[in-house]
Amino acid sequence: MNRDMHSYNKELIKSISAELGVPEERVPILVEKIAELVKPEVGKFVGRRSLMAAGLGGLLGLAVASPASAKMTITGQYIDLDGQKFYPASAGAYSVIVYKQGIKIIAEDWKGDIIAQGVAGTDDASVIQQALDQKGIILVKKDTYYLKSRLEFYSDTYVDFGYSKLVREHEDHALHADSQSNITVMNFILDGQKSTYGGYSHGIRFWSCENVHVENAEIYNMPANGIVIVHESGSEAVDPKKKYVWLINAYLHDNDLNGHMIGNMQYVFVRGVIAKDNGNNGVGVWACKDVIVDALADSNGQENVNFDEDENVVARVITLGSTDRSVYICGGSKNVTVTAVSVGAATDGILVVNASNVNLVGCAIYSPGGNGIHIYNSSKVNIVGCHIYNAGSRAIRLLAQEGTNVEHINIEGCIIDTVGTHGISCFDDGSAGTRYVIISNCQILNINTASYYPIQQLVGGGLNDYWIVVGNILKGSPNLTGANNVVGNNITI
């Protein structure tokens, strides 16, 4: 029983502390003083627990009706206990709110005190910046705000723009932070007005920041990138990657460079991103570790999706059109698993260059201008359960050059239908080859057998060898030249 009452007492103290903004250790002192005040009014002893159980309404209701105390004052806004003021937690759960009222823009703290104001449309950035300077929870009421200077974000700040539109009217980054942590910014539309305001400027530039959360954003018309969240460092051993990026539900379009570039970070979570009609890459992740990407990229100027020098990546992407490849995995990336739907890439559906431990699983690649899947100077690649249709050149191409073998390749359970040249083929420059390749349980259909093969292994420099080709359904016979191949149980139609 004592244990239960003790727990209940602690819960009451914690509740009053949260409601009144008084430290827990001072709650009993406050209650004692209120008890002393109200005893003459009620004509009997009032226990501490009964007052605490009455909650905020009971405490203040009794105290306000009681005689004043020289050591304690209770007003509608604060409690003065022994000369120290305590402000209860705000009902609106914010530190500062920014709003427009007529021709004014106003920043007001939770107590109703104005901390900044100016002329709406002229002083928007200045007033919002003064709100950001307070840190904490910043709410911005839905409206259109004209930014004549960049907004600087600091650590431990949560900003909800309330689905406002931000219009950039200067030649700097729109939202910026440098070497800060614990930043959340959400619910906004940003027009960069690149045709009027240039500069190498990004919509968001959070540089060497940690624990960054961007959600429900539309960013467009920036003269550089939509979003840049990058940690620039020299040596990983001396200055390790910054951690934690959440980019959720963002529409990034018509920016001159990339939709987003996230670089040198660890624990990166990208979900619900649409990147469309950006000048370079739509979705860009560089030198990151432990990455999850769930995105749609459409008609971006170079790669729709780019993984460069990344490690431990799982991605599910839909890519539509592009002036280059749909998905590009390169720069020594390793431990990458991708499931992609690629439609209408100008060159390759998926290009893997200088990478290892790559899994392409359940990909659907339709009408690429070049190869469906192109593996170049890479090793330990699984291509499983993919459907490649109407490739302009080969469905799958293995390319070994510059003394780097393409080896330990597993192609399993794929359907290849209607290609411009060979179904699966290899090529080398004489300095390297494709070795230890398994092709099994695939169906390779609609090949122009008068000129091409369902599977072609070129002689090259004599290094294309050690292939196992078994259990496939093939339109035409394979052309295999290596001395140590194993071929069997294929059906030719």
Q: What are the tens digits of pLDDT across the range 183-226? A: 999 999 999 999 999 999 999 999 999 999 999 999 999 999 99
Average pLDDT over residues 17-33: 70
**Shared domain check, 225 and 76:** no
d(CA 486, CA 465) in angstroms, rounded, equals 10
Both tokens assigned to 276:
């469309």
Under the banding of pLDDT at 50, 70 and 90, the label for residue 23 is confident
Residue 91 falls inside a structural domain: no
Triad 436, 444, 410: Cα angle to 5° = 25
d(CA 416, CA 177) in angstroms, rounded, equals 48
Q: Could you tell me where the beta strands, DSSP code E, fall in 321-395? A: 327-330, 334-343, 350-353, 356-361, 364-366, 373-376, 379-384, 387-391
Count of residues in the chain:
493
In this predicted model, which residue has the larger pLDDT, 234 or 339?
339
pLDDT at 42: 37
Domain final residue pick, 57, 86, 115: 86
* Element holding 28 (H helix, E strand): helix 27-42
pLDDT at 256: 98
**Shared domain check, 260 and 342:** yes
DSSP-H helix ranges across 43-177: 48-64, 124-132
Residue 72 falls inside a structural domain: yes
Neighbours of 493 (CB within 10 A): 10
Q: Which range (21-30, 34-43, 126-135) has the least confidence? A: 34-43
**Shared domain check, 312 and 256:** yes
State how far Cα 104 lies from the chain centre. 35
CATH number for the domain that contains residue 156 = 2.160.20.10
d(CA 156, CA 359) in angstroms, rounded, equals 38
Answer yes or no: is pLDDT of 63 > 70.
no
Both tokens assigned to 343:
């439609």
Question: What range does the domain containing 474 cover?
Answer: 96-492
DSSP-H helix ranges across 111-268: 124-132
**Shared domain check, 136 and 73:** no
* Element holding 275 (H helix, E strand): strand 265-276
The β-bridge partners of 319 are: 297, 342
Instruction: Describe the strand order of the beta sheet including 72-74 as a list of residue ranges.
Output: 72-74, 79-81, 84-86
**β-pairing verdict for 227-230 and 260-263:** parallel
Backbone angles phi, psi at 209, to 5 degrees: -105, 160
8 Å CB contact between 98 and 107:
yes
**Shared domain check, 63 and 102:** no
Neighbours of 48 (CB within 10 A): 17
Residues 6+ apart with CB under 8 A from 167: 144, 145, 146, 147, 191, 193
d(CA 183, CA 137) in angstroms, rounded, equals 10
**Shared domain check, 311 and 219:** yes
Under the banding of pLDDT at 50, 70 and 90, the label for residue 81 is low
Indicate the SS3 state at residue 268. strand
8 Å CB contact between 398 and 437:
yes
Domain final residue pick, 86, 119, 146: 86
Q: Which range (227-236, 413-422, 469-478) has the least confidence? A: 227-236
pLDDT at 6: 45
In this predicted model, which residue has the larger pLDDT, 19 or 278?
278
d(CA 453, CA 474) in angstroms, rounded, equals 9
Residue 170 falls inside a structural domain: yes
Average pLDDT over residues 253-276: 97
Residue 146 falls inside a structural domain: yes
- What is the 8-class DSSP label of residue 357? E
Q: What integer best gives the mean pLDDT of the chain?
A: 87
Answer yes or no: is pLDDT of 130 > 70.
yes
pLDDT at 80: 63
Residues 6+ apart with CB under 8 A from 411: 383, 384, 396, 424, 437, 438, 439, 440, 442
d(CA 161, CA 153) in angstroms, rounded, equals 13
d(CA 302, CA 278) in angstroms, rounded, equals 9
d(CA 372, CA 453) in angstroms, rounded, equals 16
In this predicted model, which residue has the larger pLDDT, 90 or 162?
162
Q: Mean pLDDT highest for which of 20-34, 329-343, 419-433, 461-475?
A: 329-343
Answer yes or no: is pLDDT of 54 > 80.
no
Answer yes or no: is pLDDT of 69 > 70.
no
**Shared domain check, 390 and 248:** yes
Q: Looking up tokens 């050690």, which residue turns up?
A: 466
**Shared domain check, 347 and 211:** yes
Under the banding of pLDDT at 50, 70 and 90, the label for residue 7 is low
pLDDT at 35: 53
In this predicted model, which residue has the larger pLDDT, 242 or 93?
242
Residues 6+ apart with CB under 8 A from 127: 98, 105, 106, 107, 116, 117, 118
**Shared domain check, 242 and 212:** yes
pLDDT at 33: 62
Q: Looking up tokens 């109200």, which residue turns up?
A: 38
Query: Residue 96 corresponds to which amino acid?
Result: V
Residue 221 falls inside a structural domain: yes
Triad 277, 278, 282: Cα angle to 5° = 100
pLDDT at 430: 83
pLDDT at 324: 87
Indicate the SS3 state at residue 469. strand
Residue 417 falls inside a structural domain: yes
pLDDT at 228: 98
pLDDT at 237: 56
Which of 231, 254, 255, 253 is CA-nearest to residue 243? 231
Residue 455 falls inside a structural domain: yes
* Domain total of the chain: 2
**Shared domain check, 59 and 132:** no
Average pLDDT over residues 53-76: 47
Domain final residue pick, 86, 112, 132: 86
What CA–CA distances, in Å, run from 297 to 142, 304, 340, 433? 29, 5, 11, 34
d(CA 487, CA 250) in angstroms, rounded, equals 49
pLDDT tens figures, 364-384: 999 999 999 999 999 999 999
Helix 48-64 with 27-42: angle, nearest 10 deg: 70
pLDDT at 96: 94
Average pLDDT over residues 25-54: 50
**Shared domain check, 112 and 68:** no
**Shared domain check, 201 and 69:** no
d(CA 218, CA 203) in angstroms, rounded, equals 10
pLDDT tens figures, 96-107: 999 999 999 999
Residue 422 falls inside a structural domain: yes
Average pLDDT over residues 381-394: 97
